[in-house]
A and B are shown apart, each in its own frame.
Chain A
Amino acid sequence: MSFKSAVITFPGSNCDRDALCYLKDLTNGEVHNIWHEETSLPKVDLVILPGGFSFGDYLRSGAMASKSKIIDEVVKHANDNRYLLGICNGFQILTEIGLLEGALIRNKKLKFLGKNCFIKKKFKNNFNLSIKDNQILQIPIAHNEGNFYCDIETLNLLKNNEQIAFEYCKGEFSNTEENINGSIEAIAGITNKKKNVLGMMPHPERAYSDFHQSQDGRLIIESLIS
């Protein structure tokens, strides 16, 4: 059975095309692009909330997008135990909707960070099945507010329920940072309790093609399809 997927576009999304290409090139299945004002979502295996600056990031990153018409359908999709992936701004939207815990605050150094980062998997879930323990992935980040924060009780819950999917780490060579944006416990991505919803700050859709600097971003789609 072929793998079906969809990408939601909000006004100000700017990684929607990248996410569409990522899915088309790696899943070989149907890929839909859904405008935020739609009120229905086709039955698909995976929905991506892409990166960007939805609604200009006015108010708070992801806050306005979390009130879009399509969001009810996105929540239903997640409640049906199907996969939902929020990348960068998409992660911010997922925390604003309340599908994921915590919040993303400004980077430790208060500056936008657009560079390669290194991550490895923390707890196993269906999004990182194909990734080996201690395997270091090189994937670009591009965000102003990617510093994951939550209170200590929530953090304990995330750990106890094994909801931390990815954490930042040092790369193989000198001059790379342990925790690039200051996230609590270097968290780069978390899932919900049922582990069918993942939010992550790094952009796997910018690291999959032969001409990209790294192809590690493939592993996420490969994990879901396998």
Chain B
Amino acid sequence: MNEELILQHGLTLDEFQVIRKYLNRDLSIEELGIFSAMWNEHCCYKTSKKWLKKLPTDNEIVIQGPGENAGVIDLKDNDGIAFKIESHNHPSYIEPFNGSATGVGGILRDIFTMGARPIATLDSIRFGLIETEKTKYLLNGVVHGIGHYGNCIGIPNIGGECEFESTYDFNNLVNAMAVGHVQKDKIFYSKPKSIGSLIVYIGSKTGKDGIHGASMASDVFSEEDEDEKRPSVQVGDPFMEKLLMEGCLELMSSGLIESMQDMGAAGITSSSVEMASKGNVGVYINLDKVPLRQPLSAYEILLSESQERMLAVIDKKNNHKVREILQKWQIDYEVIGEITDTKRVVFESNNKKVVDLPVEIIVDDAPEYDREFYIPRKRKNKDFDFSKIKLEDMIINLLTNLNYLDKSWVFDQYDSTVMGDTIREPGQSSGIVKIHGTQKVIGASTDCNPLYIRINPYEGMKYTVAESYRNLIACNINPLAITNNLNFASPLDPNIMGELVLSIHGLKTAAVKFNTPIVSGNVSLYNQTNEIPIKPTPVIGMVGSNMDLNKINTNKFCEIGNKILILGKQLTKNCSPYLLQDQKIAFNICEFNDLEVLDLDFEKKIANCVLELSDLKCIMSCNDISRGGIFSALLKMQYKDMGFRVKVPDPIDLFCEYSAGYVIEIRSKDFEEVTSFLTNKCAEYLEIGEIIKEGIEINSKKFDYFDIMNKYRNDFEKIIS
């Protein structure tokens, strides 16, 4: 086989030699395609596996950890929650609408493949600076795509994050998360049960879209690639997915399915190989039986990533019943093969075996690298000059920065109330939905602080996990488990690899401390274009619960006259990275001081105070303090034309970041009870002011409430239009 062909398939020559040696024969082009699909980063985690193994993935509530289509946790009674986050970064840069839409489609399939009905989606999207020519186009396309798919299939989008930063100029990130509800005794796994069962193809016909998508996703970009790679982006059809979802859920609840796999990245290849590997069996598939949209070669069928397709295993005797249900939903269905005892993956086309490989070589012998990595040098701390900073300018700096403005423009394009169970919509610290027919609620939040992680990957990652944690705590949601999406640049650069290794280490430390295991996840590497690497962006999706929907907090001001208290510990102004960056005090990443060490025990202590006070109904509203400090938190809390009057020793304190930071609103009559509770717990608090009508006052200086609120609410749309 010629070298060029091997390299084109994303394999190194060393990797090819391993295969060649094992098989002791030449490979067919179809077999080469299979290795290309299965041995890339996206499918086999060859760079990250060594480090991911160190993460905590189990505790008393984990039903299914990483390794299946989604993780599942126990929510008492017969309720399980399945969830996962996944990236669609590269496709969303090349074709933002379809790239992001199919990202949502893919993650929803991961959820209902487990037998779970999706009940919420979230996202985490990052773009370059708005001044960069393409950003507006990408933002419009991505938001439209996410909205279109989710709205049409009818799953509420309940939250997410959206950031603008220069390193994403040519590498926007689109991570989509989905949460589903499953009955614990009806969870479906990808492992087939018996030899001789039929392998059936369910869903859309196979076309040319997405061929080599998974290996594209594992590639470094150059700008010229864009047009050339567009045909590798899949095209989504949410209507088809809606039918597929209802059809599959009906099949599963009728007990007609043994196991199921989504044909996602690397299509029929990946789903059938995984099936064989999980069950320690073989698969035989006749490619001539695969429903096609257009004439395709065996090679193309194997690598197509056409959307809205599932591979299922059924008992022969159920063939007729399965066909009947799928006909009702107008879904294509074909028996294409069977489970064998050979432990080999065999694909036939035109009466010829085009692929005949032992499962072992594809899965178990997949490469795993221990790449070189550097640990960042310790930073020397210094004092910055804050003498020229004025309060008015600080406010203007926030109100002219997209990252601080109200993102209604984004989430108003998403249906967040369909299914009728939504309790907290996007724009609050976490999204919350009710488990249908119960009093239980699920809260979820997606977060990342790339600036922190670039400054100090280990500590920065702890802060990121803590931010998700606080987002849930602020709503009186008990954090339970994590899904992660590790977006990084090329791991071949030891500096980048160092960020990957250290941030996984930070994730581990925080997850162990919070008892929030990592139950699912995704890795997206090589996010760099023209040698510009993205900031390290390991996104956390944290899920939690409250068994009683009447106990959750709002993040919005409740009543004029109520007091405003601050909990937590302020980071010093010299060590508040977003303050320094966004107030234009530090510009270059090397200027920043190191992060203060985050005390996770302190985080837990304050969190427990918030949870207890919430259960005592002493908290009228609560918001966490993150980027933009207390001021930004207060802006987010404004509601029904209520504002705030506050007094602080130094106005700069209002913009500093926090550890374990929360703003809480309490009634005057509860003040004694709350403060003595906090004093008993040795939790320091700061009383800073009160809620007032239509006003913003800081240290007796009055600001124009409606001017600030208009800018906060409406300027996002003005800036991006």
Does A12 sit at the interface, judged by CB under 8 A? Answer: yes
The proximity string for B residues 139-160 relative to A, scoring 1 for CB distances below 8 Å and 0 otherwise, is: 0000010011001111000000
Residues of B within 8 A of A142 (CB): 151, 415, 417-418
CB closest chain-A residue, reference B717:
A109
- Complex formed: what's the CA distance from A206 to B422 in Å? 9
CB closest chain-A residue, reference B329:
A11
| CB-CB contacts below 8 Å: A204-220 with B | 205-206, 209, 211-212
Complex contact A53–B239 (CB within 8 A): yes
Complex contact A112–B420 (CB within 8 A): no
The proximity string for B residues 397-413 relative to A, scoring 1 for CB distances below 8 Å and 0 otherwise, is: 00000000000100111
Complex contact A112–B147 (CB within 8 A): yes
Known: A14-B242, A114-B417, A142-B151. A175 touches B329 (CB 8 A): no
Complex contact A18–B709 (CB within 8 A): no
Residues of A within 8 A of B330 (CB): 11
Known: A112-B147, A114-B412, A114-B413. A12 touches B418 (CB 8 A): no
Known: A11-B243, A14-B242, A113-B412. A57 touches B417 (CB 8 A): no
The proximity string for A residues 16-47 relative to B, scoring 1 for CB distances below 8 Å and 0 otherwise, is: 01100110000000000000000000000000
Complex contact A112–B242 (CB within 8 A): no
Residues of A within 8 A of B147 (CB): 112, 114
Residues of B within 8 A of A65 (CB): none
Known: A113-B412, A175-B713, A203-B417. A53 touches B434 (CB 8 A): no
- Say how far A130's CB is from chain B's closest CB, in angstroms: 21
Does A56 sit at the interface, judged by CB under 8 A? Answer: yes
- Say how far A67's CB is from chain B's closest CB, in angstroms: 15
Does B137 sit at the interface, judged by CB under 8 A? Answer: no
Does B419 sit at the interface, judged by CB under 8 A? Answer: yes
Known: A18-B420, A142-B151, A173-B641. A112 touches B239 (CB 8 A): no
Complex contact B415–A114 (CB within 8 A): yes
A interface size (C-beta, 8 A): 33
Indicate which residue in B238, B416, B709 contacts A174 across the interface (CB closer than 8 Å): B709
Indicate which residue in A12, A172, A175, A205 contacts B239 across the interface (CB closer than 8 Å): A12
Does A69 sit at the interface, judged by CB under 8 A? Answer: no
Does B423 sit at the interface, judged by CB under 8 A? Answer: yes
Known: A53-B152, A115-B408. A140 touches B417 (CB 8 A): yes
- Complex formed: what's the CA distance from A90 to B147 in Å? 20
Complex contact A56–B417 (CB within 8 A): no
Complex contact A56–B420 (CB within 8 A): no
Interface size class of B (residues with CB under 8 A): 35 or more
- Say how far B532's CB is from chain A's closest CB, in angstroms: 31
Most chain B beta carbons < 10 A, residue from A18, A114, A211? A114
- Say how far B385's CB is from chain A's closest CB, in angstroms: 38
Residues of B within 8 A of A206 (CB): 417-418, 420, 422
CB closest chain-B residue, reference A206:
B417
- Complex formed: what's the CA distance from A22 to B420 in Å? 9
- Say how far B202's CB is from chain A's closest CB, in angstroms: 16
Does B237 sit at the interface, judged by CB under 8 A? Answer: yes
Complex contact A173–B640 (CB within 8 A): yes
Residues of B within 8 A of A140 (CB): 417
- Complex formed: what's the CA distance from A65 to B1 in Å? 55
- Say how far B643's CB is from chain A's closest CB, in angstroms: 11
- Complex formed: what's the CA distance from A35 to B416 in Å? 26
Complex contact A14–B154 (CB within 8 A): yes
Complex contact A56–B237 (CB within 8 A): yes
The proximity string for B residues 228-255 relative to A, scoring 1 for CB distances below 8 Å and 0 otherwise, is: 0000000001111011000000000000
Does A111 sit at the interface, judged by CB under 8 A? Answer: yes
Does B654 sit at the interface, judged by CB under 8 A? Answer: no
Residues of B within 8 A of A205 (CB): 420
Does A146 sit at the interface, judged by CB under 8 A? Answer: no
| CB-CB contacts below 8 Å: A140-159 with B | 140, 142, 144
CB closest chain-B residue, reference A207:
B417
The proximity string for A residues 166-200 relative to B, scoring 1 for CB distances below 8 Å and 0 otherwise, is: 00000011110000000000000000000000000
Residues of A within 8 A of B240 (CB): 56
CB closest chain-A residue, reference B413:
A112
The proximity string for B residues 616-630 relative to A, scoring 1 for CB distances below 8 Å and 0 otherwise, is: 000000000000000
- Complex formed: what's the CA distance from A115 to B156 in Å? 12
Residues of B within 8 A of A111 (CB): 144, 412-413
| CB-CB contacts below 8 Å: B387-446 with A | 408, 411-420, 422-423, 434
Residues of A within 8 A of B419 (CB): 14, 17-18
- Say how far B71's CB is from chain A's closest CB, in angstroms: 26
Most chain B beta carbons < 10 A, residue from A58, A111, A113? A111
- Complex formed: what's the CA distance from A51 to B418 in Å? 9
Does B549 sit at the interface, judged by CB under 8 A? Answer: yes
Does B706 sit at the interface, judged by CB under 8 A? Answer: yes
Residues of A within 8 A of B418 (CB): 14-15, 18, 51, 142, 206
- Complex formed: what's the CA distance from A53 to B549 in Å? 30
CB closest chain-B residue, reference A20:
B420
Indicate which residue in A18, A115, A211 contacts B549 across the interface (CB closer than 8 Å): A211
| CB-CB contacts below 8 Å: B103-156 with A | 144, 147-148, 151-154
Residues of B within 8 A of A56 (CB): 152, 237-240
| CB-CB contacts below 8 Å: A78-125 with B | 111-115
**A-B contacts besides A51-B418, A56-B152, A142-B417, 20 pairs, CB < 8 Å:** A11-B239, A11-B329, A12-B242, A14-B153, A14-B242, A53-B238, A53-B242, A56-B239, A57-B239, A58-B239, A112-B147, A113-B412, A114-B412, A114-B416, A140-B417, A142-B151, A142-B418, A206-B422, A211-B434, A212-B420
Show 19 residue pairs from A and B whose CB-CB distance is below 8 angstroms, ordered by the A residue.
A11-B329, A12-B242, A12-B243, A14-B153, A14-B419, A18-B418, A55-B239, A56-B237, A57-B152, A58-B239, A111-B144, A112-B412, A114-B413, A142-B417, A173-B640, A205-B420, A206-B418, A209-B420, A211-B434
Q: Sorted from nearest, which 9 A-B pairs have the closest CB atoms?
A: A14-B154, A56-B239, A18-B420, A142-B415, A114-B415, A140-B417, A53-B152, A206-B417, A112-B413
